Amino acid sequence: MAKWFGGSSGVRTRRIVMILLDLALIYIAIELAVFFRYDGAISALMRHKLDQRMPLIIGIYTLSLMLGGNYHMMWRYAGARELLRLLFLCTASAAITLILNRLFVWKMPRSLFSLIGMFEFLLVGGSRFGWKIAREIFIARRSDVEHNRILIVGAGEGGVYAARACQEGRRLSGVPVAFVDDNPDKRGMRVCGIPVLGSVEDIPEIVEKKGIAEIIIAIPKIKGDRLNEIVAVSKSTKCRVRILNDPGGLGERPVAGRQVFREVNTTDFLSRDEVALDMDRIQGYLGGRVVLVTGGGGSIGSEICRQIMRFSPKLLLIFDIYENCAYELECELRQHYGDDCPTKVLIGSIRDRARLDEVFESYRPTIVFHAAAHKHVPLMEISCAEAVKNNVFGTLNLLSSAAQHGVERLVQLSTDKAVNPTNVMGATKRITEILIQSFARNTNMQCMAVRFGNVLGSHGSVLPLFEAQIKKGGPLTLTHPDITRYFMTIPEAAQLVLQAGALARNGAIYVLDMGEPVRIKDLAEKLIRFHGYTPGVDMQIDITGLRPGEKLYEELLMDVERDGMTRTAHDKIFVAPPIVVDDNVFSAQLDGLKEAAERGSTPEVVERLHDIVETYVPDEKQKAAS
């Protein structure tokens, strides 16, 4: 009984009312069946038989509805699936009464029980869907006053999903009153009872006629120039513009608590083709495992954590020196996966070997993703020794502790700045690549590095900087008019890191396909237009000059690597050929670098870095400082 009458007092009351209503409807169904079966002239004997068995028949139908979950459905969101379930329950009840009629020789006509089932389905279904339709009409009439009127762009599966989400969370989102779709065959049609009034170019006219307050773009996987066009048309109306979050399965109903819509951001129209992942292979090495992510609270580290949770790890360890971002990520994951989400935040630094040993000893992770590093090029030019202590010797601490405690696989995140570096940060990351290959040769742990370029939207990247400058009214600051960079989105980078880990080629330096380099000035102009301004007219771009250690362009491969690069099973992941170093010489060079870093001598640190990374050519300003 608790299952049917549990919950809040409002829920209990609603269920009791529904049961009482159904009792009355079942009785009416029986009387209608009698009327149609006997044409209103039932004999006294048959009436007596029916009255004797009426409580049992009503009980069978009521119990069937209860056991079938009829009173746990939210009928205002019901559709064909719920209607089919009700038909099944009524048919099953009719079948049970027919069997009882035969077994206990009631000697009542079989057609009577079939008619009872039919009328029960019509009456109960009609009451449920009648209430649903009446409620929607009532709300639609009030929507002008009480709710935002919403225009949905895209009348396909995404549009249906968006419309359902609006109807479910009406008080928070509003009421969809129209669709637009570029498919001419859909014009004049209705989707979810909502008319398709035109195409994207008709948006301004529809907004004015219908009093639209918000536009929702509900075209799955839309990106690039087409999205930019739709956003430009939509923003010209001064309406709020949002986009459908990736819903996962479009056939499913929106899930309560899930953020269905979000603001359109610049990474949407800059994003590239979706990454195709070998889900089974990734599941094979992450599912049911204890996984450690260093720098797990950072931009890329946090996205790696989100992606890992898709593959059901036994425990996800979020290791970071900064507590706030790590805590916020844990809260986010618990909200999405529930309070029993297998995550744990561990505060610590990779520079603290004792803390690393404690973590490995206590939790025994078998897979490690190493994202912790000092990454900001200009800052590391000023604090060279700190960059070395953290990036080089912090990584060495991690590798040593992981190997000592039986870690099976470690994936290091590297950067294109490690290729022919002109800055300290890039040189330190190149040394970590050498460390990875050294541990791959000399331990039982599988070690690999993943090298990629700039990540859109990460902390300190150019995109958030430009966004902040646009919000302040400009100008946008650019270091050089011809500077270019490789870009990929944070989710794309994280997914490819997981995929590279699945390939498990020991000692590999994986290089991600970053596509074509982007001219930063072009990016700045796109962003200005995205926000409704004209570059050079409404908002200026100021050239400030290259910063210390900054290159005009980045490279993904060193000269010696270009000829030997090989493909992998994934078309966006390549392997750079190994560059073997003498371990004894390398060890001695590390000792010298460590001593220089501990003394805090910038000239000596730069010199020692160049001894290890021969392709490191310090910036002219750095040379002058040295």
Partnered with residue 315 across adjacent β-strands are 290
Asked whether residue 250 carries a pLDDT value surpassing 90, the answer given is: no
Domain boundary among 240, 264, 288: 264
Residues 240 and 308 in one domain: no
Residue type, 209: K
CB count within 10 Å of CB 583 equals 12
Domain boundary among 232, 264, 296: 264
Contact 165, 227 (CB under 8 A): no
Residues 227 and 110 in one domain: no
Report the CATH number at residue 549.
3.40.50.720
Least confident among 19-28, 145-154, 178-187: 145-154
The CA distance from 494 to 5, in Å, is 46
Structure letter (DSSP) for residue 248: S
Residues 178 and 317 in one domain: no
pTM: 0.66
Does some domain include residue 615? yes
Question: Is omega for the bond preceding 481 within 30 degrees of 0, making it cis?
Answer: no
Residue type, 70: N
Contact 262, 240 (CB under 8 A): no
Residues 337 and 376 in one domain: yes
Residues 182 and 128 in one domain: no
Asked whether residue 541 carries a pLDDT value surpassing 50, the answer given is: yes
Domain boundary among 92, 110, 136: 136
Residues 36 and 177 in one domain: no
How large is the C-alpha radius of gyration of the chain?
33
Highest mean pLDDT among 34-48, 55-69, 319-333: 319-333
Listed residue (613, 619, 623) closest to 589, CA to CA: 613
Residues 603 and 553 in one domain: yes
pLDDT value of position 251 = 41
Structure tokens given for 611? 């001894």
pLDDT value of position 249 = 42
Contacts of 337 (CB under 8 A, 6+ apart): 309
Residues 194 and 257 in one domain: yes
The three-class DSSP label of residue 180 is: strand
The CA distance from 388 to 595, in Å, is 11
Does some domain include residue 142? no
Does some domain include residue 272? no
Domain count, the chain: 3
Asked whether residue 2 carries a pLDDT value surpassing 60, the answer given is: no
Does some domain include residue 625? no
Angle between helical axes of 395-404 and 424-442 (0-180°, round to 10): 20
Residues 231 and 287 in one domain: no
Residues 103 and 182 in one domain: no
417 has catalytic annotation: yes
What domain range is 437 assigned to?
Answer: 279-620
Mean per-residue pLDDT over the chain, rounded: 85
Does some domain include residue 270? no
Residues 357 and 440 in one domain: yes
Identified catalytic residue from 417, 429, 526, 572: 417
Biggest CA-to-CA distance, the chain: 114
Average confidence (pLDDT) over 75-81: 68
At 169-215, the pLDDT tens digits run 554 567 899 999 999 989 889 888 899 999 999 999 999 999 999 99
Does some domain include residue 58? yes
Asked whether residue 8 carries a pLDDT value surpassing 60, the answer given is: no
Residue keyed to tokens 């002239």: 41
At 292-328, the pLDDT tens digits run 999 999 989 999 999 999 999 999 999 999 999 999 9
Residues 130 and 158 in one domain: no
Does some domain include residue 536? yes
Asked whether residue 229 carries a pLDDT value surpassing 90, the answer given is: no
HSE-up (13 A, CA, CB side) for residue 139: 20
Phi/psi at 442 (5° precision): -110, 0
Structure letter (DSSP) for residue 264: -
pLDDT value of position 257 = 39
The CA distance from 601 to 7, in Å, is 68
Does some domain include residue 391? yes
